[in-house]
């Protein structure tokens, strides 16, 4: 019951004002977000890569309504690529990008143009880019942008959400050579007309998606912390004769960190590292995924 309420709150400006104005919130946010600036992200990345983990960097922000803000997000990615190249952190690193932060809801091709600049700068630094997937109304436009980006940057990847009913078809279209696809369960509140409901149904859809990706010719990125699904992914990799470097696991910063290090011993394991000051929407989705996080959050107010 709490999940949908928290996901609705994730889009509420009033709740945003309330939650972000409380200084104590930071202590809990720090568990999921590397920090507010690039220096903090660099520190987190050094620690993770030192432990044998790969990274994908998310400069936080979403649902931008102004051109200037979309361009500022683009510039933040460009600055990150430069610093990563300078500091020797770029090799094997990836950037995760939300098109809604680059102007997807604004008229014209602003998001595509910004994403193109991001991909070009990533290529210069020796990094790759993966498009995050947001609520279901953005899927067609995100896949269209991906198609256009791939003409120049064939390594551009995308996240696909198992919970959406359309997903099996999308995965079949995407399971071709060179295609990098991150399969996730889906973190947005969606109507039953477009999405499966309840853990069991979404997990079954996730397994169907894994089957398509592991049997296909692309590069599957298994984005989940769910131990059962991780085991199934490993089995499917073996069944489909996949070598260790032909797929990878991905988890979010601060979630099951011990398991991240353990998996990294014999698999490619990438950590999604969010940073920046606009952490509210991301943070609320993490609370919604696990009610225990909310208890932890509320407890921080009484245990000062
Ligand atoms: P599930 O939610 O069933 O969790 C399994 C176990 O993992 C839990 O029992 C718990 O131990 C742990 N866990 C999971 N979430 C936790 C949390 N918040 N706090 C503490 N423990 C937690 N979604 C989306 O819609 N678009 C996107 O682009 C992305 N991108 C993305 C990238 C990467 C690398 C990952 C791992 C995930 C995403 N997601 C996403 C989020 C995804 O859709 C999903 O909401 C979360 O991964 C939680 O689902 P799990 O598969 O982990 O399973």
Domains of the chain (ranges, CATH numbers): 34-278 (3.20.20.220)
Under 8 Å CB-to-CB from 281, ≥6 apart: which residues?
A: 10, 11, 62, 63
Work out which ligand 1 atom sits closest to the CA atom of 56. 34
For ligand 1, atom 26: residue with the closest CA: 133
Query: pLDDT digit string (tens) for 220-248?
Result: 999 999 999 999 999 999 999 999 999 99
Does residue 293 surpass a pLDDT of 90?
no
Please compute the mean of the pLDDT values over residues 85-94 and round it to a whole number: 97
Does residue 304 surpass a pLDDT of 50?
no
Catalytic residue among 132, 135, 170, 278: 132
Give phi and psi for 20, each to the nearest 5: -80, -15
Please report, to the nearest 10 degrees, the dihedral formed by the alpha carbons of residues 7, 12, 16, 18 taken in order: -110
Mean pLDDT of all residues in the chain? 94
Max mean pLDDT among 9-23, 265-279, 282-296 falls in 265-279
Find the 36 Cα to ligand 1 centroid distance in Å: 22
Work out which ligand 1 atom sits closest to the CA atom of 225. 52
Q: Which residue has the higher pLDDT, 288 or 186?
A: 186
**For the ranges 20-29, 46-55, 58-67, 92-101, which has the lowest average pLDDT?**
20-29
CA 245 to CA 250: how far, in whole Å? 14
Does residue 217 surpass a pLDDT of 80?
yes
Using CB distances shorter than 6 Å, the residues near ligand 1 are 132-133, 159, 161, 182, 184-188, 223-226, 250-252, 255-256, 272, 286, 289-290, 293
- Whether 182 sits among the annotated catalytic residues: the reply is yes
Does residue 303 surpass a pLDDT of 60?
no
- Whether 132 sits among the annotated catalytic residues: the reply is yes
Q: What pTM was estimated for this model as a whole?
A: 0.96
């Amino acid at each position: 019951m709490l999940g949908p309420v928290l996901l609705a709150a994730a889009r509420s400006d009033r709740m945003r004002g309330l939650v972000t104005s409380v200084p104590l919130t930071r202590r809990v946010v720090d568990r999921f977000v590397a920090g507010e600036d690039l220096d903090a992200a660099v520190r987190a990345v050094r620690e993770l890569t030192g432990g044998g983990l790969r990274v994908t960097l998310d400069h936080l922000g979403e649902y931008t309504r102004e051109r200037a803000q979309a361009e500022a997000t683009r510039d933040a990615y460009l600055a990150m690529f430069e610093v990563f190249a300078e500091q020797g952190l770029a090799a094997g690193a990836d950037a995760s990008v939300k098109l809604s932060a680059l102007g997807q809801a604004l008229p014209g091709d602003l998001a595509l143009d910004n994403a193109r600049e991001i991909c070009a700068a990533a290529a210069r630094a020796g990094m790759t880019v993966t498009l995050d997937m947001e609520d279901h109304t953005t899927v067609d436009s995100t896949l269209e942008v991906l198609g256009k980006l791939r003409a120049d940057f064939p390594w551009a990847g995308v996240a696909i959400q198992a919970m959406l009913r359309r997903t099996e078809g999308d995965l079949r279209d995407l399971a071709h050579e060179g295609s990098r696809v991150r399969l996730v369960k889906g973190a947005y509140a969606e109507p039953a007309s477009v999405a499966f409901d309840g853990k069991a149904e979404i997990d079954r859809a996730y397994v169907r998606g894994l089957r398509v990706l592991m049997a296909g010719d692309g590069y599957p990125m298994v984005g989940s912390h769910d131990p059962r699904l991780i085991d199934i992914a490993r089995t499917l990799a073996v069944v489909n004769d996949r070598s260790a470097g032909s797929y990878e696991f991905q988890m979010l910063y601060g979630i099951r960190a011990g398991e991240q290090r353990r998996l990294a011993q014999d698999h490619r394991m990438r950590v999604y590292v969010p940073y920046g000051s606009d952490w509210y929407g991301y943070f609320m989705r993490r609370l919604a995924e696990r009610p225990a996080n909310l208890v932890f959050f509320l407890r921080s107010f009484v245990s000062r």
